[in-house]
Chain A
Amino acid sequence: MPRRIFVTGLGIITGIGNNLAETKDSLFHLRTGIGKIQFLETNLRDEIPVSEVKCSLEECFHLAGIPVTEGYSRNALLGIIAAKEAYGDAQFGDFPGLRTGLISATTVGGMDRCELYYEDFLTNDSRNIYIDSYDCADSTEKIADVLGIKDYLTTISTACSSSANAIQLGARMIRNGDLDRVVAGGTETLTKFHLNGFNALKILDKEPCKPFDEKRNGINLGEGAAYIVLESGESVKQSGKPVICELTGWGNSCEAFHQTASSPDGIGAYLAMKKAIDMSGLNIGDIDYINAHGTGTDNNDISEGKAIERLFGSEVPPVSSTKPYTGHTTSAAGATEAIISILCLLEQVIWPNLNFSEPMKELHFTPVQELLKGKKVINVMTNSFGFGGNDTSLIFSNYEP
C-alpha cells in the first residue's frame, strides 16, 4: 500500500483575496478580481484588464512582515504571504526526525524589479541588491528562510503548470520516503515582461475572459501565490494536525506538439488526466468536479474540452474554469486552483464558470454556470497546462481515516 499524502495547510493570495477566508468569500459572492490595472506600471494599463493582488508593494511588505527597506521582489513577498498562511495553518511545532521541504514554482521570478531597474543594472550600481534576486530561486530561498525550512528546497518552472508540478513532486518525495512534509505551490507576479509577451502572442482578451464560450477571446492574466502543506501519515500522527483532504492522484504528460499551442485533440491533457485517475485507483465516474485549465483562448479550450470528452465520454462531470475569478496566475495557477478545488470538497459546492453565455460548437458539454450548493463532492480533479505542452493533473479527495 503506497504511502498516503495528506493536505494539512492552505495559503493563498490572489486578486480575489489576500487569504483563504477572503478567497472563499469572493468565490461564494461571484466576485471577480479582474479589472483595470492599478499597480503595474505599464502603457497597457488602459487597454488590457488583469487580476492584480489588491495591494501596493508597500502593503505586500507589510502583509509579509518584511521591512520595506529590504530588497525583496513583489514575487517573493506574495510567496511569503501565502506560504506563511499555509504553514501557520498547519500549526507546525518542532518534530525532530521529520524532514520538511519547500518546493516552489515560478517563471517570472524577480522580473518585477529587474524590468524596472534594468537600465540601472546596465549603467550604475544603485540597484545592485536586486541583481541576484531576478532569478527563480530567489523567492524560494526567501520563503524558506521565513518559514525556517532547510531540509530540502527546489524550484520548478514548467510555465503555467509549474506549481501543479511542485505539488506533484512534493507528493512523490513523501511517498518515496525522502521527506515527511512539504510546503508546495508557487508564486507569480504580474510583470510588463509577460504581459507584453502574451500580448505579442495576441492571446489576451481585452474584456473579461470567457472560458469554454463560443465567443471566447483569450486570457486575462492574474497574479498571486498559493501553497499547500502535504504530510505523510507518520507526520500527521506526530503533529496531530487536522487533515483537510488527501492528494490521491497526479499525472504529468507532454503534448510534444508546439512551443505555445495545444494540439487539436489534447493528447497531453488526456494523458495527464488519465495518469492521475489511474494512480488514484478511482473510476471515471468517481470524479465529481473538474477545475479546468480553461484559459479562454480559442486553442486551449478546444484542446482541453476534447481531451475531457475523450476521457469521460458521455459522463463528463461538472466542469468549470475559475480563471474568470482570479485571472490566469500562470506559474501559481496550479496551486491556486488546487486550493479553489479543495474548497469544493470542504464546502460541498461547485464554483461557476463566470461570463459564460454561448456553448462551443465543438463540445458536447457546457461548463457550470451557477454556483451549485449542497452537492456531494468527494473527488475533484484540477488541470494545469503550460507552454511547451507541460500538462499536469491533480486529484484531491475527501479525507476518510
Chain B
Amino acid sequence: MPAFINGIGLISPQKTVETTDFLQEIMEYDSGYLKCIEPPSYKPYIDPIQSRRMSRLIKMGIASAKMCLNESGCTMPDAIITGTGLGSVEDTEKILGTIHLDQPFLNPTPFMQSTYNTISSQIAIQLKCHNYNSTYVHRTFSFESCLQDALLQIAEGTAQEVLAGGIDEMTLNHIAITRRAGHWKNEPVKNLEMLKWNSPGSMAGEGSGFFLLSAGKTDKTYACIRDVKTLYKPANPDEIKLQVTSMLSASGLNVSEIDLVLLGINGDNRNDHIYYEFAKSIFPGTPLSYYKHLCGEYHTSSAFALWLAANILKRQTVPYILRLNNVHREPVRNILIYNQYYNVNHSFILVSE
C-alpha cells in the first residue's frame, strides 16, 4: 500500500534547514568528511535545558523530526519509527574512551543516549506519544526497514500517519578507525569531484531526515512511496534485475515508465561498476542521477535520496548537479532509488508523484 510523503525535515551537509530553496547553492567540502549544517539554534525545536545534555546526533534527530511534523501539521503520529546504522557514535566513543582503559565511567548520560532507540523515544517523550515505536539498526537496510515497517503499519490499518526517519552521524575519530577498514579515500577529495578519482573508498557523510508518511494526500503532499525492497547478497546481476522488474510489475509499472534512477554511486572504484552495469542492463536510455557527492556515504543516506526524489517530483525539476547522463525526461512521474553497500546490501525505493 502506498504512503504519501506529507512533510519532510532534513539536516544534511547541504543547506536544507529552514529554507524553501532546493539545492540553489551547493556546499563544497575538501576534507573527505561532509558534515551536517545544523540549525543556527536548536531553541525552536528543543527545550534548551534538555538540549544541553544531548549529543549532536540526538539534537539533529529531534530537530529534523520537529521540522517534519511542523511542515505536515501532524501533532500526534500513530507510529514513530527510526533507522540508524551506528546510533550515537559520539556518546559511544565517550564511553569507549574510559572502558578501554578499564576504568568505570561515572556519568551515565552518554550511556543512556548511546542506545539506538534514543531518538525515537525522545521524540515520543516530547510529543507524549504512546503509540507504536521502533528502531532499525541494519547498516544500509536501516532506513529501508524503517520505511517497510511504516508501509506495513499503514497497510495493516493500525496507523494513518507514521513519522519515519533515518539518522546517522560521523565523528573524526570514527572516520580514522573505519579508514583502517578501507571505507574512505586516503587522498583529500573535493566532494564535487568525487567521480574524477579512480580510487578505492568513499567520502564520509551524515544526515538526519524525517518523513511524515500518511495513508492520505494533503495539500502538503510531495510524492508517494510505492514500495521498498531490500536484497541481501545477490548471487549475480540477474538476481538484482529480477528484484527490480518484479518490484515494478507489482506496482503496475514497466521499466520504461521509470523517469529517473537515483544511484548511490559513492566514488569507490571497487563497487561503483555495479551501479553502471545495473543502469546499462536495466535502464538504458533512462535519465540517471547520483547524490552522494552532496551528502557523503553513510548508512542512512537513502533518506537524503528520498528527500531529493520527493522534491524532484513536487517541483518537477532535476538539478544539474545531480545528473549523471545527458538524458532528460519530462514530466518526472516515477523515480527509483537504488543503493548498495559492498555488493552485500542492495535496496530499492520506488517513489511516484
Contact = CB atoms under 8 A, between A and B. Distances in A.
A390 B116 CA distance: 12
Contacts of A379: none
Contacts of A137: 85, 137-139, 141
Interface string A325-362: 00000000000000000000000000000000000000
Interface string B127-149: 11111111111110100010001
Interface string A255-288: 1111110000001100100000000000000000
B118 A259 contact: yes
Interface in A117-132: 118-119, 121-122, 125, 128, 131-132
Interface stretch (B105-113, B212-220, B311-319): B105-113
Contact of A44 (B86, B104, B122, B232): B104
Interface stretch (A58-66, A79-87, A170-178): A170-178
Contacts of B128: 256
Contacts, number: 185
B120 interface: yes
A1 interface: no
Contacts of B152: 172-173, 176, 178
A114 B96 contact: yes
B155 interface: yes
A137 B87 CA distance: 12
Interface in B23-67: none
A254 B133 contact: yes
Contact of A115 (B96, B132, B141, B173): B96
Contacts of A173: 152
Interface stretch (A189-197, A210-218, A240-248): A189-197
Nearest to A159: B115
B181 A132 contact: yes
Given A118-B100, A254-B121, A136 B116 contact: yes
Contacts of B95: 193, 196-197
A254 B87 CA distance: 19
A388 interface: yes
Contacts of A199: 104
Given A176-B156, A192-B102, A259-B125, A390 B96 contact: no
Nearest to A107: B115
B178 A131 contact: yes
A122 B116 contact: no
Contacts of A119: 100
Residue of B114, B136, B156, B176 ringed by the most chain A CB atoms within 10 A: B136
A389 B125 contact: yes
A215 B87 CA distance: 36
A200 B121 contact: no
A259 B113 contact: yes
Nearest to A130: B181
Contacts of B124: 254-256, 388-389
Contacts of A131: 177-178, 180-181
B280 interface: no
A257 B134 contact: no
B117 interface: yes
Contacts of A253: 130-133
Contacts of B242: none
B349 interface: no
A373 B99 CA distance: 46
A169 interface: yes
A280 B115 CA distance: 31
Contacts of B233: 145, 150
B230 interface: yes
Contacts of A260: 108, 112
Given A137-B137, A155-B136, A169-B149, A201 B108 contact: yes
A34 B254 CA distance: 59
Contacts of A141: 232, 344
Residue of A132, A173, A196 ringed by the most chain B CB atoms within 10 A: A196
A197 B106 CA distance: 8
Given A128-B181, A144-B232, A258-B125, A387 B96 contact: no
A42 interface: yes
Interface string B70-85: 0000000000100001
Nearest to A160: B115
B104 A201 contact: no
Given A121-B177, A154-B141, A201-B108, A107 B129 contact: no
A51 B133 CA distance: 29
A293 to B, nearest CB: 16
Nearest to A2: B156
A390 B115 CA distance: 12
Contact of A254 (B96, B129, B176): B129
A140 interface: yes
- Ranked nearest first, the 4 interchain pairs of A and B with the lowest CB-CB distance are A388-B121, A197-B111, A254-B133, A118-B100
Given A118-B96, A200-B105, 7 more contacts: A115-B96, A121-B180, A132-B181, A193-B99, A196-B111, A201-B112, A254-B132
29 contacts: A115-B96, A116-B100, A121-B180, A128-B180, A135-B139, A136-B116, A137-B141, A140-B138, A156-B135, A157-B117, A157-B137, A158-B133, A158-B134, A159-B115, A165-B134, A169-B149, A173-B152, A193-B96, A253-B130, A253-B131, A254-B121, A254-B131, A257-B125, A260-B108, A260-B112, A267-B130, A387-B115, A388-B133, A389-B125
Interface of B: 80, 85-87, 95-96, 99-100, 102, 104-108, 111-118, 120-122, 124-125, 127-139, 141, 145, 149, 152, 155-156, 173, 176-178, 180-181, 230, 232-233, 344
